[in-house]
Amino acid sequence: MNFNLGFYASTRNKSSKANILKVYDEIKDEHMKINRFMIAAPKSGSGKTMITCALLQLLKDSGKNVLSYKCGPDYIDPMFHKKVLGVPSKNLDTFFTDEKTTVQLFLDERADGDFAVLEGVMGLYDGLGGIYEQGSSYHLAKVTQTPIILVVDAKGMGKSVLALIAGFLQYDTHHLIKGVLLNRMSKGYYDIIKPLIEKELSVKVVGYFPEQKDIGLSSRHLGLVMPDELSDIKKQLNETADRLKKTIDMDLFIDIAEAADEIGDSENADKDKRQTLKNAEPMRLQDQNNTVNIAVAMDEAFCFYYEDNLKLLEKCGAKLQYFSPLHDTKLPKDCDALLLGGGYPELYAKELSENISMLNAIKKAFRAGMPTVAECGGFMYLHTYIHNICDDTDEQNKADEQNKADTQYNTDIQNDVSVSQLVGALDGGCHFKGKLVRFGYIELAEKHSNFLPPNEKIKAHEFHYYDSTDNGADCIATKPATGRSYDCVISHDNYWLGFPHLYYPSNPHFAESLVRKAYEYRRNKNGKLL
């Protein structure tokens, strides 16, 4: 039941999406059971990520074959999950994909694990635009029928914590909240408040976690500091797990996970319409040795990729060749396309600018017509320069303070100069604005069909503090919550360049188009059909 989409070399038509996906097909009456729970919270900053990582470590130590998932478009939290488990974590987002596809993306990996932990995003009910259910942790839990353990930041609270929990339980119309963990609470007060919560609210308290002043995950303006920037991250995560083990009832966590419904078999499931994406046989290339090669930038500066995006490219017929714009001097041998993901190129602008051989290699490949997709940081990298001093005078003080904060985690990122020369494939540059330029979910439509069939859209997310002297005008981005729209993206022939982070499973045609363009590029390069 893999989400398997085939490479196609034929022309597209208006019904091509249906042809690719073979529509939804009825599944067999098989039980889809995986033990699981979601860690969620009333608000951001409640400690979800540290507690999730600690639980992943404890489950791993107990011999469980654990899979992890992150609700929403976040890139960094899954990196922390991977740091614990040693395997990639996946994003699940009910804005990016419809309910059936979201379930299938969740189930796609179930053969690789016997236990799943999902980490929520923001507050439990905070979805699209902050007011809609779609895209929220609760919606994902409902769609995947996953029990929720609510992490409550109880610092500074007395009995009022009961009122808070009671409100969330009352709003939980599907009765998914099965346990509560009290974060930043002392043992003395926990012993008093736990029996009150369980008696008055009829919900299990799975434990508590005292405030940890010597460990914790640091943040910057774009979110958490990435795990590889923290030299002692493994030590911190292990120490957190050791401490959490002493203050929670791990058996109760496992009981809640094991009591999770079989997906598709609960009373809330539509038993007559239980469907999944049917396997589609890929179109065979004439020679299996002629798989197209996509060079993927992957290092400290470029590391924001959705796992399902990469898998979808592979399922469309691509071999991914990872390289480092920071450390390598040339592109991978015999590559047919280029994927430059997001990240923090601004933190490594000096190092990137000094790697002249790589800058020239990418510029040469781009100008030779190599198919290129560049998102956010990758888009910035293609510009002629990056300007790291805030352009907005009113925001400069904030920016200076943030730069100081960032420097304590990586002494190499302090900007020696304000301007760094980059690839130069695009005229103009990118400028630090000191504040969010564009933020949140969007739907993208091409003005002229290139990577997408006519009149189709792909879903994406923006979150950046930089802006370009030319953001492009080949696509229309629409905010689904407000309907506001704006022009963006430079898209022509073989390239798609812009700040939006794309989610390929929301429209698999995008991945197929990149592979098809790589195929055509290779064919033309070799002067013969493959």
- What domains are there in the chain, each with its CATH number? 32-258 (3.40.50.300), 292-526 (3.40.50.880)
**pTM, two decimal places:** 0.85
SS3 state at 11: coil
pLDDT surpasses 60 at 488: yes
Cα dist from 97 to 188, 375, 395, 500, 503, whole Å:
45, 20, 36, 17, 9
Is residue 303 annotated as a catalytic residue, yes or no?
no
- What distance in Å separates the CA atoms of residue 205 and residue 212, rounded to the nearest whole number? 20
Predicted confidence at residue 371, as pLDDT, reads: 98
Is there a contact between 102 and 94 (Cβ–Cβ < 8 Å)?
yes
Rounded to the nearest 5 degrees, what angle is found at the Cα of 193, between the Cα atoms of 236 and 55? 25
- What distance in Å separates the CA atoms of residue 424 and residue 382, rounded to the nearest whole number? 6
Predicted confidence at residue 235, as pLDDT, reads: 86
Instruction: Evaluate the CA torsion angle 72, 76, 81, 85 in order and state its sign.
Output: positive
Q: Which residue type sits at 444? A: L
Rounded to the nearest 5 degrees, what angle is found at the Cα of 243, between the Cα atoms of 239 and 248? 140
Is there a contact between 203 and 45 (Cβ–Cβ < 8 Å)?
no
Catalytic residue among 376, 390, 430, 475: 376
pLDDT surpasses 60 at 6: no
pLDDT digits (tens, 9 = 90+) for 17-34: 443 343 233 333 345 689
Cα dist from 193 to 40, 150, 181, 321, whole Å:
20, 16, 12, 54
Q: How confident is the model at residue 530 (pLDDT cuts 50, 70, 90)?
A: very low
Q: Taking residues 252-272, report their average pLDDT.
A: 72
Q: Taking residues 171-187, report their average pLDDT.
A: 97
Predicted confidence at residue 460, as pLDDT, reads: 98
